[in-house]
Amino acid sequence: MKKDFSKSWISSVQPRKQRKFRFNALLHLRSKFMGVALSEELWKKYGRRNITVRKGDKVKVLRGEFKGKVGKINLVDRKSCKVRIDGVEVVKKEGTKKPTEIHTSNLLITELFLDDKKRVKSLEKRGENKNG
């Protein structure tokens, strides 16, 4: 098997090839893996189920140790496809707190960070196509 990343790769049933594709993906293409589901209100408002997560979005953790916690994203790591959320910390044995990372598939966006004009424009355009 080739070691180089191929953008033209379509798909495979084999899990090993799917893992290899995600592992070897280039960073500028990894943003497509960073999609997070929208809450029902946002889903109806913007006419889409998910969106790429950004720093500043408010999210709710759906699975794992921190299930139910709500916080603002303060770091998006494309390399590992994980995010850091304010208030989601692990308490170490000596009592210090360490921020932990959560995979994007375990999150739900409850409020979008709309200071980016390009993001707002793409959301509005998508909403117009749905309603029109």
What are the structural domains, with CATH classification, of the chain?
A: 26-131 (2.30.30.30)
- What are 68-124's pLDDT values in tens digits? 999 999 999 999 999 999 999 999 999 999 999 999 999 999 999 999 888 888 888
Q: What is the mean pLDDT of the chain?
A: 89
pTM to 2 decimals? 0.83
Find out whether 109 and 57 touch, Cβ atoms under 8 Å.
yes
